[in-house]
Amino acid sequence: MVSEKMYDKLANLVVIKGVNVQKDQPVVIRANVRDAAFVRKIVKCAYEAGSGAVSVEWNDNAITKMAYEYESVEALSEVPQWKYDKVKHQHDRGACYISVLSDPPGVMADVDGEKIKAANRAYYTKMADLMTYTMNNEGQWSVIGVPSVEWANKVFPELEEK
């Protein structure tokens, strides 16, 4: 089992070494709601490292799956201008990005692949000119994987939960 001390070290690592937060630099954290306790540690480290503003963009697999189940391909393919404007604003301010991943393998396996493809295509088409910020390392970014009970149960089904 991972200790609180290990999570503290991991949060510090991603802030200091992963994205190298600078004084007054904005930080954007993207994470699943299940990882709230760990994200709080990252937020604290980011502020202690000098960040001027930290924002968290939450996601939830159950809600995402419902969107894919109930929304039409047309609705999923619509990317509002405000989403583009928000990311552009973050880039213009020099934000660094931390993505926290803890999803179990196959979490969207039973979702209609065409809907996922349509939503992704629409998003990446709309955001194409903004992608260079991270893809060309114009801005700092880091992805950090953290264990979750769901992940562990999927990867190690023979082990008992402690």
pTM of the model as a whole: 0.91
Dihedral angle computed from the Cα positions of residues 120, 135, 89 and 58, in that order, rounded to the nearest 10 degrees: 50
Q: In total, how many domains does the chain have?
A: 1
Q: How far apart are CA 90 and CA 32, in angstroms?
A: 20
- Tell me the residue range of the domain where 84 lies: 4-148
50 in a structural domain: yes
Domain contains 21: yes
- pLDDT exceeding 90 applies to what percent of the chain? 83
Residue 154 lies inside a defined structural domain of this protein: no
In a domain, 133, yes or no: yes
d(CA 91, CA 69) in angstroms, rounded, equals 32
The answer to the question of residue 32 being in a domain is yes
Of the given ranges (19-33, 68-82, 94-108, 148-162), which has the lowest mean pLDDT? Answer: 148-162
- The chain-wide mean pLDDT, for the chain, equals 94
Average pLDDT rounded to a whole number, residues 20-43: 97
Q: Is residue 153 part of a domain?
A: no
Sign of the Cα torsion 132, 139, 100, 53 reads: negative
Q: What is the CATH number of the domain that holds 83?
A: 3.40.1830.10
